[in-house]
């Protein structure tokens, strides 16, 4: 969709679908066109809902370490893409989640969110005893990114849109 570095580099719009913008969405104008922006709250909701959807389909608790670490890592990497794992650990062990004044401010482009979700889930996989992310981790990523744009999406939607497979086939991988 879009590409932007956190270092105020140029934003490059690769694909923008006006039909994907709903009333209330925040869209920023760049020299190459409009981009949709997301808030920390929207990203947090999407990753939590993505974890819940994936955990439910795999018959796991959404409170399992693989999922709670992934959520913390995603939110850490959203704010600081090159943060060391030690920073993720510090946030994970805080008694209450850190809240920022701008949690509801739309400020992240899709590419930033996608990078944080992918890197967070991958890092959580490595640091919770798995050498590589697995199919369940992949489902978390796809579900979170789908739910970011379509909060009403369900497992069927994720299976068909992200994998071009039936839910039964995707479920068999878990």
pLDDT digits (tens, 9 = 90+) for 73-102: 999 999 999 999 999 999 999 887 666 677
Beta strands in 51-165 (DSSP E): 108-109
Instruction: Specify the pLDDT at position 38.
Output: 96
169 within domain boundaries: yes
Instruction: Specify the pLDDT at position 84.
Output: 97
8 within domain boundaries: no
113 within domain boundaries: yes
11 within domain boundaries: no
146 within domain boundaries: yes
62 within domain boundaries: yes
Q: What is the pTM of this model?
A: 0.80
Please report which confidence band the pLDDT of residue 27 belongs to, taking 50, 70 and 90 as the band edges: low
Residue with tokens 């400020």: 107
Range of the domain at 49: 40-101+109-173
pLDDT at 14 over 90: no
Question: Which pair of structure tokens corresponds to residue 13?
Answer: 């719009």
Beta strands in 14-161 (DSSP E): 26-30, 33-38, 108-109
Q: How many domains, in total, are found in the chain?
A: 1
């Amino acid at each position: 969709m879009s590409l932007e570095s956190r270092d105020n580099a140029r934003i490059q719009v690769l694909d923008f679908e006006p039909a994907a913008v709903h009333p209330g969405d925040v869209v920023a104008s760049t020299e190459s066109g409009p981009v949709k922006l997301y808030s920390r709250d929207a990203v947090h909701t999407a990753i939590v809902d993505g974890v819940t959807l994936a955990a439910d389909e795999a018959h796991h608790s959404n409170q399992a370490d693989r999922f709670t670490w992934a959520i913390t890592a995603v939110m850490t990497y959203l704010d600081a893409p090159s943060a060391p794992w030690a920073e993720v650990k510090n946030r994970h062990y805080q008694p209450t989640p850190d809240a920022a004044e701008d949690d509801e401010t739309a400020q992240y482009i899709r590419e930033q969110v996608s990078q944080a979700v992918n890197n967070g889930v991958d890092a959580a996989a490595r640091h919770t005893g798995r050498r590589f992310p697995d199919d369940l981790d992949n489902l978390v990523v796809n579900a979170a990114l789908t739910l970011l744009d379509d909060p009403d999406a369900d497992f069927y939607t994720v299976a068909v849109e992200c994998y071009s497979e039936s839910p039964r086939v995707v479920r068999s991988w878990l």
